[in-house]
Every structure is written in C-alpha cells, then in structure tokens.
Amino acid sequence: MNLYKYASPVNFYPLAGKIIPWFAIPAAILFAVGLYVGFFVAPTDAQQGDVYRIMFIHVPAAWMGMFLYVLMAIYAGVGWAFNARLSSMMATSISITGASFTFLSLVTGAFWGKPTWGTWWVWDARMTSTLILLFLYVGFISLQASIDDPRRADRAGAVLALVGVINVPIIYYSVQWWNTLHQGATIRILNKPTIAPKMLAAMLIMLAACWLYSIAVVLVRLRYIILEREQNAARFAEVTA
C-alpha cells in the first residue's frame, strides 16, 4: 500500500471518514470511565475537599492547549516547507481545537480558583502564560480567517505559528520571572509531593480521552475543510460517491 497516496486531500477524505469512529468511540468510553473514576472513585482531597475534582478536566485541557499549539506549528511548518496542502489543512483544523482547550483550561481554572483562592483570577505565571497562549491562537485563527486565498492563508499561518513557537519559551520564562519579581510565593498549586494513585489514574484516563477526542474532532473538521476547498477537484465526485 502506498501511504503517500493519502497525502492528497481528496484521497484522505474517505480514509478520515473511516477512521474517525476508531477515535471517537474510545474517546467517549474513556471520558465516561475517567469522569466516573474522577468523581466517584478518587478520594476526597484532604485540604481542598471535592473542589479539586475540576482538575480532572482542567489539567488535561491545559496540557492539550500547549501540545496542540506545538503540533499545529509542526503541521503548518511541514505544509509550508513541502507544499503539502493536507498538512496545512491539519494545522488550520487543530488551531480551533487547541484554542478551545486553552479557553476551557482558563475557565475551569477560574472555577477552581474562586472557592480555593477566593478569587476568579490572579496574575499567576501559569495562568498568565495560558492567557497569552490563547492570544497566540487568536492571532493565528484571525490571520487565516482574513486571508481569502487559502494557500496564502496556509503559508502566512505557518510563518506566524513558527514565530510563535520560537517565542513561547521566551514568553513563558519572561512571565515567570515577571511573576516572581512582582509577588512573592504566596500561592502554589497542588504543591504536594505525591498524588493518590486513583487520582493519577483518573487524570491519565482523562488525558487519553482528550487526545482521542482531539484527533476525532480535528479529523471531522479536516473533512469539512477538504470538502470546502477541494469541491472543484475533478476526482472529488468519484471519491465521495
């Protein structure tokens, strides 16, 4: 089997349709299992009570937000360097999911912060850099949205994503430094040496569920993008028929 065949969006379209259930169904099962373990099996935290359980959504969401930005930049870069349309479409597709997860992690973080710290928002280093990550996603998405020519949008997005990826560590450390300068170590998140095995299990299951969900959703969105862009391709009709 020639795998390169699937680098063509038109050929990938039916394949994506076939493999989506392989990610979507396990994602649904793992979400169910993870939420069950997280809410009913994992013990109540000694210091925080039951509030901490939002971490089972918050932490995977925050991780996904970061991973997906890097993944998006890689896809965009590959699409630019090798002139691979499918790869660029992947980047566009990932950007929305990544921004959603980043936003979700900020919202759940606020929900956790209100009862625990007594405030919806503090200018903590991690929260600030997550907010900046959301800004970077917004920049990428709005740049691509305002360019009419899809190939130019792909490449311009790639430049921005790569510049962003180089900048992320600089931004991260500058924010951390800024934070230590401006406020002492007043608050630390989950500064415990160990985490109960059941909590860890729930967290990992939720992380796996988020990954599978992301792949499924990205592929679904990718199919719509292909549908939109390749509708005039001669072979498209026979593939979708």
Partner 1 sequence: MLRWIVWRDLILAWRRRADVLSTLFFFVIVVSLFPLGIGPETQLLRSIAPGVVWVAALLASMLSLGRLFANDYQDGTLEQLLLTPQPLYFIVLGKVLAQWLVAEIPLVLIAPLLGVQFDLSKETLLVLFVSLLLGTPVLSLIGSIGAALTVGLRGSGVLISLLVLPLYIPVLIFGAGAVDASIMGLNPQPNLSLLGAVTVLSLIFAPWATSAALRISLE
**What does the alpha-carbon distance between residue 213 and residue 235 come to, in Å, rounded to a whole number?**
30
Identified binder of partner 1 from the candidate list 78, 84, 171, 204, rule CB under 8 A:
171
According to the binding rule CB under 8 A, does residue 82 interact with partner 1?
no
Q: Which is nearer to partner 1, 11 or 174 (CB)?
A: 174
What is the radius of gyration, based on Cα positions, of the chain? 20
Identified binder of partner 1 from the candidate list 1, 40, 43, 146, rule CB under 8 A:
146
Q: What does the chain come to in residues?
A: 241
**What does the alpha-carbon distance between residue 16 and residue 18 come to, in Å, rounded to a whole number?**
5
According to the binding rule CB under 8 A, does residue 180 interact with partner 1?
no
Q: Are 60 and 210 in contact (CB under 8 A)?
A: yes
Q: Tell me the closest approach of the beta carbon of residue 86 to partner 1, in angstroms.
A: 19
The phi, psi pair for 125, rounded to 5°, reads -60, -45
The dihedral of CA 226, 231, 237, 241: what is its sign? positive
According to the binding rule CB under 8 A, does residue 190 interact with partner 1?
no
Q: Tell me the closest approach of the beta carbon of residue 151 to partner 1, in angstroms.
A: 8
Q: Are 92 and 154 in contact (CB under 8 A)?
A: yes
According to the binding rule CB under 8 A, does residue 186 interact with partner 1?
no
According to the binding rule CB under 8 A, does residue 81 interact with partner 1?
no
Q: Are 60 and 207 in contact (CB under 8 A)?
A: yes
According to the binding rule CB under 8 A, does residue 139 interact with partner 1?
yes
Name residues whose C-beta falls within 8 Å of residue 116's C-beta, 6 or more positions apart in sequence: 48, 51
Only segment of 30-38, 114-122, 139-147, 227-235 that touches partner 1 (CB under 8 A): 139-147
Report the alpha-carbon angle 133-181-111, nearest 5: 45
- Within 194-213, the residues that bind partner 1 by CB under 8 A are none
According to the binding rule CB under 8 A, does residue 138 interact with partner 1?
yes
According to the binding rule CB under 8 A, does residue 160 interact with partner 1?
yes
The residues binding partner 1 (CB under 8 A) are 132, 135-136, 138-139, 142-143, 146-147, 152, 155-156, 159-160, 162-164, 166-167, 170-171, 174-175, 177-178, 181
